[in-house]
Every structure is written in structure tokens, then in C-alpha cells.
Copies of this chain bind each other. A is one copy, B any other.
Amino acid sequence: MKRAEYPVEIQRLIASLKRLPGIGPRSAERIAMALLQSRQDAATELAQALAEAVAGVGFCPRCGFFKGGDRPCVICGNPERDASIVCVVEQSTDILSIERSGAFRGLYHVLGGKLSPLDDVHPENLRIDALLARLESESIAEVILAVGSDVEGEATAHYVSEALSGRPELKVTRLAQGLPAGGGLEHIDELTLHRALSGRRAI
């Protein structure tokens, strides 16, 4: 005898949830049940939030960060920010991390990824041309390359700094590499220690 299964509507919902990052088959089933069993308005509310986000969220044509509806990008549209310094990041989410640190008050430029030929991400897939165009039209004094310190991040930083070379008036910097805050030396890998040593500063 065929074993009973969920109605096809529930199976489809579980399949959709399973495609989300970090959600396995068990979690997908538990979430679907919670949405359908507890109060049905939870499901309706999530469906509405999704539809509104898809319809209402766009990307700032200048920096590439998310922008809502017809409102200007919250960062580019803020006259208090220093437009002479641009921080180049891989992803929009990196902007939030830097904002949380409170250490930066300039503008941003989202590349939309990092160079990774194996994943078919080449220079033309990143917003490097848009960065060069900004250098022509805006008066930018410094570009900070705030990309990751993994292999792809290093390659991306190298490629972008090459593309920015030949502008003696432009300062190009990278984030410092070294010990993370609050950690002892015994937990640090060799490459990090190597970089922390070669980047040592006088006190």
C-alpha cells in the first residue's frame, strides 16, 4: 500500500524552503508545519514580506547597495558622508558589517562578488568598469579595497589595484591583516601570524 504523504501544496512549500541556504529537509518540514499550524497569518505575512521585498528593493546605480522603492540609496543620499573616500566591498552585506563597526564614514562600491575563474566569475562580471567610471566623474581621493583575505579576495584586490594604477593622485589602500581582536596566539594560523608580523607597527 502506498504510504500517505502531505498534500501537494505542502510538499511544494517544503521543496521551496529546502532551497534556502542552511535549511535541510527536516528544518524545511518543521518551518512549513509552523507556518501552517500555529497561526495562518504567519505564512501570509511572510508571503507578503517576500513579495514586497522583490517588488520594492532595487540596487543603487552608483554604489550597488540595496535601495528601497524610489527612495535614494541611504548611503549615497546622505550629504553628511565623505564622498572623497570609497570603500570597495565584495557584497552588499559587507557594507552592513562595516557600518556596524562605525569606523567608516565615506561611500561604498559593491563589486558583486570576487574573481573566481572556477566559478565562472571573471573581471567583466564584477562592477569594476562602474568603479572606473566613478573615478572619472567623482572627485575621489582614496579607494579602500575591503575585500576578503582568501585567495579569491587577494586576486580581486590585485586585479582592481592594477586597474586603478596610473593615477598618481589616487591613494589605493587595503584593510590591515593581522590578529583578530580578543584571540591568543595559540589559536592563530601560520599565514595570519606571518601577515601580522610583516605588517607590525611601531608603538
A42–B71 alpha-carbon span in the complex (Å): 25
Considering only CB atoms and an 8 Å cut-off, how many residues of chain A contact the other chain?
Answer: 65
Interface of chain A: mostly helix, strand, loop or mixed: helix
The answer, yes or no, to whether A126 is at the interface (CB within 8 Å) is no
Q: CB distance B99 to A12 under 8 Å?
A: no
The answer, yes or no, to whether A78 is at the interface (CB within 8 Å) is yes
The answer, yes or no, to whether A56 is at the interface (CB within 8 Å) is yes
Q: CB distance A30 to B22 under 8 Å?
A: yes
The answer, among B15, B42, B53, B93, for a CB contact under 8 Å with A35, is: B53
Residues of B close to A99: CB separation below 8 A = 3-5
Q: Which of A3, A32, A81, A105 has the largest number of chain B CB atoms within 10 A?
A: A3
Name the interface residues of A51-104: CB closer than 8 Å to any CB of B.
Answer: 51-54, 56-57, 65-69, 71, 74-75, 78, 80-81, 91-93, 95-96, 99-100, 102
CB-based nearest B residue for A67: B7
Knowing that A3-B102, A9-B69, A22-B30 touch, tell me 17 more A-B residue pairs with CB under 8 angstroms.
A4-B65, A4-B74, A6-B66, A7-B56, A7-B57, A7-B71, A9-B53, A10-B57, A12-B52, A13-B49, A15-B49, A16-B50, A21-B30, A32-B53, A43-B54, A46-B47, A47-B50
